[in-house]
Amino acid sequence: MAADSQSTAGSTKSQTPRPKVQRINGHLLAAVGRTDTIPAFFEWYEKGCPKDEKPELGESFEALVLRPEGLFQYYERLEAVEVVEEFWAIGQGSEIALGAMGAGATPQRAVEIACEFNIYTGLPVVVEWLHHEA
């Protein structure tokens, strides 16, 4: 899983990189949306996704969760939707990243390309593997 590190508020780019990928309960999670909602999603997932404790995340929230059994996408209602495509992307640079992967780029390179062409997507690129590489 690959992600950029940029955080943007309106037209202002933060100088502090924000971690968008976390390893929780043996799964990889990536989330986009308002900066204050991403930690709330990670905390909710770490608790085991309790239905009666769903945080308010807003319409701009999206997340991907990579588990051994597949890739799942979450929106603000926090219901897992299985992703059946060979590869997927979320966030501001997702269309560029999807096009790059469709043309054969690795996820890391696809995010780097999105960083080149989307003003809301920025370096550094973070890459995590579901199973640690030897």
**Tens-level pLDDT at each residue, the chain (134 residues):** 999 999 888 888 887 777 899 999 999 999 999 888 899 999 999 999 999 999 999 999 999 999 999 999 999 999 999 999 999 999 999 999 999 999 999 999 999 999 999 999 999 999 999 986 54
What secondary structure does DSSP assign to 76-100, as a single string? TT---EEE-SSS---STTHHHHHHH
Is 2-127 a CATH 1.10.1060.10 domain? Answer: no
Contact residues for 42 (Cβ-Cβ < 8 A; gap 6+): 22, 24, 29, 31
| Residue 133 pLDDT | 58
- Cβ count near 90 (within 10 Å): 22
The model's pTM is: 0.92
Looking at residue 11, its pLDDT comes to 85
The domain segmentation of the chain, as residue ranges, is 2-127
Question: Which position has the token pair 């909602």?
Answer: 37
At residue 36, the pLDDT reads 82
Angle at 83 between CA 80 and CA 86, to 5 degrees: 160
- pLDDT score for 126: 94
